[in-house]
Amino acid sequence: MNRKIILHVGVGKTGSSSLQSFLSFSPYLVSADGKQEFIYCCFNQNGGISAGTDLTKLAGCSLLQYSASETDIARAEHIPQTKSDLEEIFSAGCTPIFSQEGWSYRADEFRKSKFLLGIDCTAHVIVYVRPQVEWFNSAWWQWFVWSGKYASPEDFIAKRGFKIMLWADLIAKWKDVPGVESVRIRLQTKDIVEDFRRLLGIAEVTGLSPSPKVNVGLNQTLIKLLLRYPELRGENSADVDAVLQKHFVFEGATPWVLGTELISKIITETYADNQRLLEMLDEESRQSMQSDRRWWDPEFYASRAEVLKKELKLSRNEMIDIIDQAIPALSRLQVIAGKGWWDPDYYSSRPRYDVRLPETKNEDLLGIIDAAVPALIRLERLGVERVGKNEMSGVLLQKGQELSLGALRILHYFLVNRPYYLFRGTTALLWTKVPISYRRKNELKQLLFSKMPWLFSWSGAYRRWQATNATMQEVKKPRKK
């Protein structure tokens, strides 16, 4: 069996998103000696495979700017489809590269399903790791704090323990998966793309700007902002982070939330596993890990002050900075979308939106923020959703030549339009033809939605109005003297 695939399996928060972004926009790679060709591929939900420029298109219309494989793919029922799609890739003489950081915890699924044997492949597994203390602080802000299940990092450990960060244990399970020929462990570097390229002997990609970091940790101001909207962020909604990082620029690092006692406990509980990890590394990486105090010494983190919950409240200056950046962003988005959820004239007639006046109350500032930020996120998601569905339908149409033309048209329609858009498309078209001004249309919509919600509650326009315009009416109310 000489059909080889490359599996990058994580772990999360070691630069996986940056690597996936690079691979998505440079899906065709060649070895430095020119003898081997690589192609970036992704496993889909049904076991099928998307590859090459299809992934570039999908990444380009994603807020996160990358494409990655589905996590739950090691299923026996997926094997026939996966094996069939791989035939075309191997027949072209290419070695496929797959990436999904969630696979670091899925070795048992690959082992039990004998997935690699079923698709007639051997896998070369690559996994990146980092010191557990820093990883946990980053993971807390990436996933765990937004789940609503854990009151603090200490509460997470009390409920879940340390198993999630025992790297040697996770790697040992991958070594036992049938079909895995090798497992290469790398310590996290400042440039995962360059390390990955050198590890596989891939030639430099010319004509590209330096790879940007993707899905990096949020700074303290944006985390304070997100803590106001946990229902928008959620445990697996990193696209919200991408929206905020796109439109807001603040200085500062991710807050440090681990106390000295918890740090000592993490290092103690992972010590034996890290000793095992040392034995799995190449000589250069072993020496690097042995001399790196972040793995072994709680005192290394003594200078990092634990952030108290009371410190994670937005200050007045931070509120003003957020508003100063959010309102212009909303105005730009509404121009792009061609529809106005907001009235820019309301703000343009008020220098700096009045927010810097001493008499402006903090609760008024928060009212504007609570209207602007969720609307900004929803607008971005709406735009990407529309483009993304069109791009995805195009990819599927290219792969669906065995379907009839009529079936393809039906597939395309329901990929691009949700079922309730069957009616909305007609009403939206009629609405654009109404011969009245934009401002009059907004006034009419306000009247209809407020007086007859039962008639319009099914529509996306009504839900957006309810979520944003209703809040803005509260913001616009004049203050009592």
The pLDDT of residue 252 is 81
Q: What long-range pairs does 194-199 form, CB within 8 A, spacing at least 24?
A: 196/8, 196/19, 196/126, 199/126
Q: How far is CA 429 from CA 153, 424, 433, 455, 457, in A?
A: 51, 8, 7, 18, 18
Same domain, 229 and 322: no
Q: What pLDDT digit, counting tens, does each position of 305-325 carry?
A: 888 777 888 888 888 888 778
Task: Report how far residue 262's alpha carbon sits from residue 133's, in angstroms, rounded to the nearest whole number.
Answer: 9
The pLDDT of residue 86 is 95
Within a domain: residue 271?
A: no
Within a domain: residue 294?
A: no
* Cβ contacts of 179 within 8 Å, gap of 6 or more: 110, 114, 115, 116, 117, 121, 122, 123
Four-residue CA torsion sign, 126, 273, 159, 135: negative
Task: Report how far residue 175's alpha carbon sits from residue 184's, in angstroms, rounded to the nearest whole number.
Answer: 10
Task: Report how far residue 235's alpha carbon sits from residue 81's, in angstroms, rounded to the nearest whole number.
Answer: 31
Helix (H) or strand (E) holding 118: helix 115-118
Q: Which of 192, 212, 234 is the last residue of a domain?
A: 234
Same domain, 227 and 325: no
Within a domain: residue 117?
A: yes
Same domain, 213 and 336: no
Q: Which of 203, 219, 234 is the last residue of a domain?
A: 234
The pLDDT of residue 239 is 83
In eight-state DSSP terms, residue 209 is P
Same domain, 229 and 349: no
The pLDDT of residue 360 is 64
Within a domain: residue 279?
A: no
Record the tokens describing residue 1, joined without a space.
């069996």
Task: Summarize the chain as % helix, strand, coil (round to 5).
Answer: 60, 10, 30
Q: What pLDDT digit, counting tens, does each position of 182-240 carry?
A: 999 999 998 999 999 999 999 988 765 445 566 567 889 989 988 888 877 877 788 88
Same domain, 340 and 225: no
Same domain, 185 and 334: no
Contact in structure between 246 and 228 (CB atoms under 8 Å): no
Within a domain: residue 284?
A: no
Record the tokens describing residue 277, joined without a space.
């990890």
Q: Which of 234, 249, 273 is the last residue of a domain?
A: 234
Same domain, 324 and 228: no
Within a domain: residue 215?
A: yes
pTM of this structure: 0.75
Within a domain: residue 290?
A: no
The pLDDT of residue 300 is 97
Same domain, 210 and 355: no
Task: Report how far residue 238's alpha carbon sits from residue 253's, in angstroms, rounded to the nearest whole number.
Answer: 17
Tens-digit pLDDT string for the chain (481 aa): 579 999 999 999 999 999 999 999 999 999 999 999 999 999 998 899 999 998 998 888 888 889 999 999 999 999 999 999 999 999 999 999 999 999 999 999 999 999 999 999 999 999 999 999 999 999 999 999 998 899 999 999 999 999 999 999 999 999 999 999 999 999 999 899 999 999 999 998 876 544 556 656 788 998 998 888 887 787 778 888 888 888 888 888 889 999 999 999 999 999 999 999 999 999 999 999 999 999 999 999 999 988 877 788 888 888 888 877 887 776 666 544 443 333 444 334 433 334 445 556 777 778 778 877 887 787 777 665 555 555 544 444 444 333 344 443 433 444 344 333 334 444 555 665 667 765 676 678 778 878 877 677 666 667 666 655 544 444 344 444 4
Helix (H) or strand (E) holding 86: helix 79-91
Same domain, 67 and 175: yes
Record the tokens describing residue 336, joined without a space.
């792009």
Same domain, 230 and 378: no
Please tell me the total count of domains within the chain.
Answer: 2
Domain containing 41 equals 4-130+166-234
Q: How far is CA 14 from CA 47, 129, 186, 208, in A?
A: 26, 7, 10, 22
Domain CATH code at residue 70:
3.40.50
Within a domain: residue 145?
A: no
Cis peptide before 11 (omega within 30 of 0): yes
Same domain, 410 and 320: yes
